[in-house]
Amino acid sequence: MTTEATEGKVYDVAGQDWDKLTEAVAESSEERLVINMGPQHPSTHGVLRLVLTLDGETVTEARTVIGYLHTGIEKNLEYRTWTQGVTFVTRMDYLSPIFNETTYCLGVERLLGIEDRIPDRAQAIRVLTMELTRISSHLMAICTYGMELGATTPFLYGLRDREMVLDIMEYITGLRMNMAYIRPGGVSVDLPAGAVDKIGELLKVMPGRIKDMRKLLDANPVYTRRTKDIAYLDLTGCMALGITGPVLKAAGLPWDLRKSQPYCGYETYDFDIATQTTCDVYGRYQVRVTEMEESLKLIEQALDRLTGPLKNQPVMIEDKKIGWPAQLALGPDGLGNSPDHIAHIMSSSMEALIHHFKLVTEGFRVPAGQAYVPVESPRGELGAHVVSDGGTRPYRVHFRDPSFTNLQAVPAMCEGGYIADVISAVASLDPVMGGVDR
């Protein structure tokens, strides 16, 4: 179907009618073509809309349109307690939920002034779950990426391996995604019995799986020709556009907050920062794979601590005004509960019951002020600007999501290249629209 508009002819495709479109376009004498890709396009990683101006097959102008997944999470946070906020922020960047929770909780903890009192075991569990999530997130990035370039095997391999991580997360937290597991003051519940064995199994299997992925892609002629020297963005471009994460590391700068501004005790772990100097899509892929291998090292070290010196330590701050019971047992109803705590509040202390009720329904007060504690998420620097007015609810929480900022690089990466490489470029940024639009 074609209609005339002031800017020129408008072609409309509804599916099953591409032949008509090609006929119509072939007859037209116009060279310049503006196409609208998305927001419902399988290879734009969610509801991202790209408006591309083409000259033949060359992209002369690329514009990104976002906002299709805006859910107002930041506004909603202002109407919940500080603890309930975790349940909201975890839904922003849904492929790396633990990182959203951690940066938010670190901010709240800084406002509360309890940063030094977080138990070491809680910090080690945070590191453990964050690195597990990094693996699952990078696997998703690499496998969808393979699929978007036309290879289905990496996709199937990647999803199979990611499932292992999600199973472990489900075993630990009860949920595969959006776990609300990290809480201000620690984590919501200790590792259940058997979790260590499950993670040990992953540590045995995963290195082989990553090797398989490397065998499949590293020297694959089709893959390398679609990724090498594609979507070039150098260090200057990254700095100007505020790009962080694998894109920056592939430009040669070893900037990783886990090393440069450590949190959760990362300074005590032994690992390397993955870097490449190619500034292209292939370099970003290499950074991601190397980061997965480094994450395995970190998981191993965290696991050693959790089973060794940190065994039987608390996982929630020992402050009755902030911490909820975290040493839970599985009750007959299938829910986690603390029998000791219930016995205490229900039968021995009225004051404890009142206190528990106030803490859960009203929440704790956070001294007025603002804090920003960023973490290194799989996509780059993720930070929550947390503002309190001294009340039991956040006054304002703003998430600096790396996906949002990194998407600004699309014009710089795509203009002047082929349209087929737009897919490569967007996929190499690995944007998650839930994080972009929040």
**Interaction site with another protein (CB under 8 A):** 66-67, 70, 72, 74-76, 78-79, 110-111, 113, 239-244, 253, 255, 260-261, 369-372, 374, 381, 383, 385, 387, 395-396, 398, 400, 404-405, 407-408, 437-438
Minimum Å distance from CB 212 to another protein?
A: 36
Gap between the Cα atoms of 52 and 413, Å rounded: 13
- C-beta closer to another protein: residue 255 or 285: 255
Task: Tell me the helices (H) and strands (E) count for the chain, helix number first.
Answer: 18, 13
One-letter amino acid of 398: H
Gap between the Cα atoms of 54 and 60, Å rounded: 6
Minimum Å distance from CB 141 to another protein?
A: 21
Task: Tell me whether residue 329 is exposed, middle or buried, using C-beta atoms within 10 angstroms of its C-beta: 0 to 12, 13 to 18, 19 or more.
Answer: exposed
- C-beta closer to another protein: residue 232 or 395: 395
- Kindly tell me the sign of the dihedral angle through the C-alpha atoms of 381, 432, 181, 107: positive
Minimum Å distance from CB 64 to another protein?
A: 9
User: And the tokens for 412?
Assistant: 């710089």
- C-beta closer to another protein: residue 289 or 359: 359
Minimum Å distance from CB 365 to another protein?
A: 10
- C-beta closer to another protein: residue 148 or 430: 430
- C-beta closer to another protein: residue 231 or 387: 387
Place of tokens 């033949």: 56
Phi, psi of 8 (to 5 degrees): 140, -165
Minimum Å distance from CB 367 to another protein?
A: 9
Listed in sequence order, the DSSP H helices in 5-119 are 18-27, 73-77, 82-89, 97-112
Minimum Å distance from CB 339 to another protein?
A: 32
- C-beta closer to another protein: residue 75 or 160: 75
Minimum Å distance from CB 106 to another protein?
A: 12
Gap between the Cα atoms of 438 and 436, Å rounded: 6
- C-beta closer to another protein: residue 154 or 378: 378
DSSP 8-state assignment for residue 283: H
The total of other beta-carbon atoms located within 10 Å of residue 362's CB is 11
